[in-house]
Structure 1
Amino acid sequence: MASAPDMTGAHKGPVVAVTGATGFLGRRLVKVLAEQGWTVRILARRDITDPMWRGLEPQLVIGDLANTAALAALCDGAEAVVHVAGLIKAQDRAAFDRGNVEGTRRVAQAAKTAGARLILVSSLAAREPHLSDYAGSKRGGEDAAREIFGGDLTIVRPPAIYGPGDVETLRLFKMASKAAFLPVLSPKTRMAWIHVDDAAARIADLVKTPRLGLLSLSDNRPEGYGWIELMRTASKAVGASPRLVRIPSGAIKALAVLSKWASAATGKDTILTPGKARELLHDDWALSSNDPIPDFPPVRYPLEAGFAQSVRWYRSEGWLKEEKSRK
């Protein structure tokens, strides 16, 4: 893999720079962009190899979001910068802001200085910044980018993203495989979802065909899914039929408090915080007319097909065992 600023990798086409390239979504995005003919340049803390990138040869800039020189090298000569990197768990709001607000501000400034377009991959959680430190920091990152780019900016808000390699959805499939029951929350809740390959394809489409403004992603059901449908679809994907049991909101809040205490005691970040509990208990994570969706190519994976494909991958990689059928 070539390193910047000594860019010796093959140039197939214009340069697009990507942060967060080693993450769950970023890895797919790099692959899609390279296959579409872009010269992909990534930011990473060290040289990496990824089986998904075999033969693609993305250019490499060593550094992180705190390294302004590395960000300048990343963006230099790029036609577009896709900022995917971000924290999903941290000890407190200040830590979230360092990654999701200040990191975004530095990327936006580097892209602006280089004369590159910026596509900021945010989160649907930014729609409700009061719910959690994470959601507030994602909105703060959007605001920081707007301060620099004004209206000449594309912000993408994905909903829940799942697919091969995602450890969070893997936990759901493991529960569906082994547990006698699955928890469901409020029947009023609606949640949009999207398969990681479809999310990557749609973000790549925004690189190819620029669209400015605040945009949303989802699969073919922007109105979202309820907890019962979600859990039944997961159970079907693993070939199980656990009972669905309604869990009171108080239990989720209590569990989140315990998780936060454990995190403080061990020094290890946890994703289940009181803020994350408020996100889980929020009724409306569907998309509406206030969440504009561009005219994207059709998704490859509706939820049932996407869950089934994910389970096949988890089993092929040994991440998920095929349980014997239960009566």
Structure 2
Amino acid sequence: MARLAAVTGATGFLGRHLVRALFEAGWQVRILARKDPIDPSWRGFEPEVVPGDLADSRGLAALCAGAEVVVHAAGLVKARSKAAFEAVNVAGTRRVAEAALQAGAERLLLVSSLAAREPQLSDYASSKRQAEDVAREILSERVTVVRPPAIYGPGDVELLPLFQAALTSPVLPVFDSRARIAAIHVEDAARQIAAMAGAPPAQELVTLSDARPDGYGWRELMEAALAASGRKAPLVRTPELLVTFLGVFGALGQAMGHSPMLTPGKAREMRHLDWSVHEGERGRDLPPPVYSLTDGFRDTLRWNLEAGVLSR
């Protein structure tokens, strides 16, 4: 009988790919969802669905019952307030860890974020670091924290402005030339997490990456997006002050009850110079990435055009 993996966040961007990667690695998969999900990428297999969400302790208990590993991939990447981030990312993680403990699960894989390395930058980053601390407090060495860098790929909505700009904008911005930004295609991230689920825990914290753990400069990212689009456009050095200015408008949106992506905290994350993967953080014996940045951007852009999400 296949081993059982319990997954939160299965209907999210990374979660959808993660469910498929776990099935392909031989796991039986049980997911937590508010309603039965329908995902075209899940053709050929069907996860067991437990109704509920992160606020539902009874649902979480049913999710974790009999599971060998619990993969907690649910969380907010944008929210109206610090309290909203903490309600999901911190309190939700606490409930998942408690359910995993009570169910006797051998391991919890907590999908955090590289942003958690710099919790002072934003409410999001702070909430992810707090979530890591809470999980370790409850489960100790039975927790492995997984920190992905910037994830992109089919189904991502956060980088749509970059790809739309590559398709249509007369110019593309580049920021501080000293900045380094690690990245990974969502399918590579899902395969690496699935591999960790089936392997003995070797590290307490693992940061994922593609073949460039040292990361990319802003110019490289923009050039890769343009190469994927088949266009040429000038790259224009853009002052970081503009990012801060746009972040202020994001804060006004938050005050009006919206959940904008570019907030002052997100602006500070964008201005941070070191989002590379440090040597001691790198995962050992993980599947090598399939996608280079250019190939991954090309795959992402093709999917978005075919799905009608973007247009030339």
The corresponding residue for 1:263 is 254
* Separation of aligned partners in 1, 2:113 and 2:270: 14
The corresponding residue for 2:28 is 39
- Name which of 267, 270, 292 aligns with 2:282: 292
- Given that residues 81 and 254 in structure 2 are in contact (C-alpha distance below 8 angstroms), is that contact kept between their aligned partners in structure 1? no
The corresponding residue for 1:278 is 268
Alignment of 1:238-257 (within 5 A): 238-257=229-248
- Name which of 35, 58, 63 aligns with 1:69: 58
TM-score for both structures, normalised by structure 1: 0.93
The corresponding residue for 1:163 is 153
* Separation of aligned partners in 1, 2:240 and 2:42: 43
Amino acid at match of 2:171: F
Q: Tell me by how many angstroms 1:80 deviates.
A: 0.4
Q: Confirm whether residue 114 of structure 1 aligns to residue 82 of structure 2.
A: no
Q: Confirm whether residue 198 of structure 1 aligns to residue 188 of structure 2.
A: yes
Deviations 1:198-220 (A, max 9, x none): 00000000011132401110000
Q: Confirm whether residue 210 of structure 1 aligns to residue 200 of structure 2.
A: yes
Give the total of aligned pairs.
310
SS at match of 1:60: strand
SS at match of 1:87: coil
Q: Tell me by how many angstroms 1:320 deviates.
A: 2.5
Structure 1 vs Structure 2 CA RMSD? 1.1
Deviations 1:282-308 (A, max 9, x none): 000001223232221211101111111
Q: Confirm whether residue 309 of structure 1 aligns to residue 299 of structure 2.
A: yes
Identity rate, percent: 55
* Separation of aligned partners in 2, 1:210 and 1:242: 48
SS at match of 2:262: coil
The corresponding residue for 1:50 is 39
Amino acid at match of 2:77: I
SS at match of 2:70: strand
Alignment of 1:149-188 (within 5 A): 149-188=139-178
The corresponding residue for 1:8 is none
Amino acid at match of 1:221: R
The corresponding residue for 1:3 is none
Q: Tell me by how many angstroms 1:32 deviates.
A: 1.2
SS at match of 1:223: coil
Q: Tell me by how many angstroms 1:151 deviates.
A: 2.0
Amino acid at match of 1:223: D
Q: Tell me by how many angstroms 1:318 deviates.
A: 2.1
* Separation of aligned partners in 2, 1:78 and 1:311: 37
Q: Tell me by how many angstroms 1:115 deviates.
A: 1.1
Q: Confirm whether residue 21 of structure 1 aligns to residue 10 of structure 2.
A: yes
Amino acid at match of 2:152: Y
- Given that residues 247 and 267 in structure 2 are in contact (C-alpha distance below 8 angstroms), is that contact kept between their aligned partners in structure 1? yes
Amino acid at match of 1:275: G
Amino acid at match of 2:22: L
* Separation of aligned partners in 2, 1:222 and 1:128: 17
Deviations 1:104-141 (A, max 9, x none): 01101110111111000000000000000000000000
5+ unaligned residues in a row in structure 2: which ranges? none
SS at match of 1:18: strand
* Separation of aligned partners in 1, 2:84 and 2:249: 20
Amino acid at match of 2:299: Q
- Name which of 228, 232, 237 aligns with 1:237: 228
The corresponding residue for 1:146 is 136
The corresponding residue for 1:100 is 89
Identify the range of structure 1 (138-147 vs 233-242) with the bigger mean alpha-carbon deviation. 233-242
TM-score for both structures, normalised by structure 2: 0.97
- Name which of 299, 309, 312 aligns with 1:319: 309
